[in-house]
Amino acid sequence: MGKIRVLVIDNSALMRRLICDALAGDPQIEIVGEAGDGIEALEAVERLRPGVLTLDVDMPRLDGLQVLRQLMRALPTPVVVVSGILRPEVVIAALQEGAVDFVPKPSGTMSIDLYKVHRELLDKVRLAAQVDIQALAVRTREARARGGRLTAPLRPLVPQASAGPGARRVIAIAASSGGPQALDVLIPALPADLPAAVAIVQHMPGGFTASLADRLHRRSMLAVTEARGGDVLRAGRAYVAPGGRHLRLARGSAGMCAVLDDGAPVRGLRPCANMLMGSVAELCGAAGLGVVLTGMGSDGAEGCLAIRAAGGRTIVQDEASSLIYGMPRAAAAYADRILPLEEIATELVRWARAG
């Protein structure tokens, strides 16, 4: 296998130098070029044909999001966003538009302490190099076209007290790398009258999951919010676990409710999908369904096993439609169905309405 050819794109010459230095020490990586704005970036991609891009989102002439959209249409290339966390909504948009993953700069736009995320940056660039982004870009466009994704302006949320009946059935979703893009296909394909609540664990730092929930809400018929402790789960609503906090379910006087937990990470993860799914298995039994989407590692596999043992159902995304087939591969042994991403929503609706 040849070296991973990386193009580094950042508005700051200092940040480009720091990112290049962080990557160049790896013998598997070759820095083939740099670009300081969006126009230069697209020209460099066309000329150099890199294997991976690191991409800042705040740049002149064309910003990172505009670069990413044009890139995915014309010359799909794996992208790792390297950005400050001042505008998490832009990072979420980049992930939903096709970026493989992101690395937050430790101290904002100018982070001379980039060494703090050196290992994470290397790991994610290596991971991105393994992704067949061209095939996935085509599949995602087709899935969104078939699903008729909504792009209406932000809708006001229904007040909790009048948001519909307490949920009897719960769908628990686990996702990691590639998850924002997968969720952007799956959640908008679910109907407003879905007779189940949806609880989502997307591996993501604190500060980003509220923006993820907001963008999903803008595109969906379901009401989507970041989960709050004490929320009563309602049919036709989706709840995203806050970054950096575990989400599990408990039985309250008004029905099943969300519990947020600041306990220790589980195998390095907080939130942990296995924790959420274990609580769904315990509370819902046959009225629980677990879904494992694209991502690294094995989170969700034990949760699927628990849900099946309790009489519930499990669905795992197939390899061809997964950006990273780590979590789905680990959970496949406990899956009732292994499906392409674009078919999962139909199966969820069928299951929910059969109850």
139 domain residue, yes or no: no
Q: Given a cut of 60, is residue 145 above it in pLDDT?
A: yes
Are 221 and 302 in a shared domain?
yes
Mean pLDDT, residues 62-70: 91
Backbone angles phi and psi of 169, in degrees to 5: -120, 140
150 domain residue, yes or no: no
Note whether 35 and 60 are within 8 A (CB). no
Per the structure, the complete domain to which residue 47 belongs is given by 4-131
Q: What is the pLDDT of residue 109?
A: 65
Domain boundary among 88, 115, 131: 131
Q: Given a cut of 70, is residue 149 above it in pLDDT?
A: no
Are 110 and 190 in a shared domain?
no
State how far the Cα of 150 lies from the Cα of 153, in Å rounded to an integer: 9
228: domain CATH number is 3.40.50.180
Are 108 and 222 in a shared domain?
no
Are 208 and 348 in a shared domain?
yes
Are 164 and 277 in a shared domain?
yes
Q: Give the model's confidence band at 47: pLDDT under 50 very low, under 70 low, under 90 confident, else very high.
A: very high
53 domain residue, yes or no: yes
Q: Given a cut of 80, is residue 339 above it in pLDDT?
A: yes
Are 55 and 173 in a shared domain?
no
Most confident of 100-104, 165-169, 307-311: 307-311
Q: What is the pLDDT of residue 146?
A: 62
146 domain residue, yes or no: no
115 domain residue, yes or no: yes
Are 193 and 321 in a shared domain?
yes
Q: Give the model's confidence band at 100: pLDDT under 50 very low, under 70 low, under 90 confident, else very high.
A: very high
Q: Domain count for the chain, please give it.
A: 2
246: left (phi over 0), alpha (psi -120 to 50) or beta: beta
State how far the Cα of 234 lies from the Cα of 164, in Å rounded to an integer: 6
Mean pLDDT, residues 250-258: 92
Q: Given a cut of 70, is residue 165 above it in pLDDT?
A: no
Mean pLDDT, residues 67-95: 87
Are 109 and 211 in a shared domain?
no
Q: Given a cut of 60, is residue 156 above it in pLDDT?
A: no
State how far the Cα of 9 lies from the Cα of 65, in Å rounded to an integer: 12
What are the strands, taking DSSP E only, across the chain?
4-9, 29-35, 52-55, 79-83, 101-104, 170-175, 197-202, 223-226, 237-240, 246-252, 255-261, 288-292, 313-317, 337-339
Q: What is the pLDDT of residue 87?
A: 74
Are 189 and 314 in a shared domain?
yes
103: domain CATH number is 3.40.50.2300
- Comparing 12-16, 102-106, 142-146, 170-174, the range with the smallest average pLDDT is 142-146
**Positions marked catalytic:** 176, 203, 299
**The tokens 């800042």 sit on which residue?**
56
Q: Given a cut of 50, is residue 44 above it in pLDDT?
A: yes
Mean pLDDT, residues 214-218: 93
Q: What is the pLDDT of residue 345?
A: 96
Domain boundary among 131, 148, 181: 131
- Comparing 42-56, 93-107, 335-349, the range with the smallest average pLDDT is 93-107
Q: What is the pLDDT of residues 284-319, one digit of tens each?
A: 999 999 999 999 999 999 999 999 999 999 999 999
Q: Give the model's confidence band at 147: pLDDT under 50 very low, under 70 low, under 90 confident, else very high.
A: low
Q: Given a cut of 90, is residue 163 above it in pLDDT?
A: no
223 domain residue, yes or no: yes
User: Minimal CA–CA distance to 96: which of 200, 183, 219?
Assistant: 183
Q: What is the pLDDT of residues 221-242, one digit of tens each?
A: 999 999 999 999 999 999 999 9
Q: Is the dihedral of CA 109, 111, 112, 115 positive or negative?
A: negative
Q: What is the pLDDT of residues 105-129, one digit of tens each?
A: 876 666 677 778 889 999 999 999 9
Backbone angles phi and psi of 264, in degrees to 5: -60, 150
User: Could you write out the DSSP letters of every residue in 166-234?
Assistant: BPSSEEEEEE-TTHHHHHHHHGGGS-TT-SSEEEEEE---TTTHHHHHHHHHHH-SSEEEE--TTPBPB
Are 34 and 120 in a shared domain?
yes
Mean pLDDT, residues 138-162: 53
Domain boundary among 112, 131, 150: 131
Q: Give the model's confidence band at 151: pLDDT under 50 very low, under 70 low, under 90 confident, else very high.
A: very low
209 domain residue, yes or no: yes
Are 125 and 165 in a shared domain?
no
Are 184 and 311 in a shared domain?
yes
151 domain residue, yes or no: no
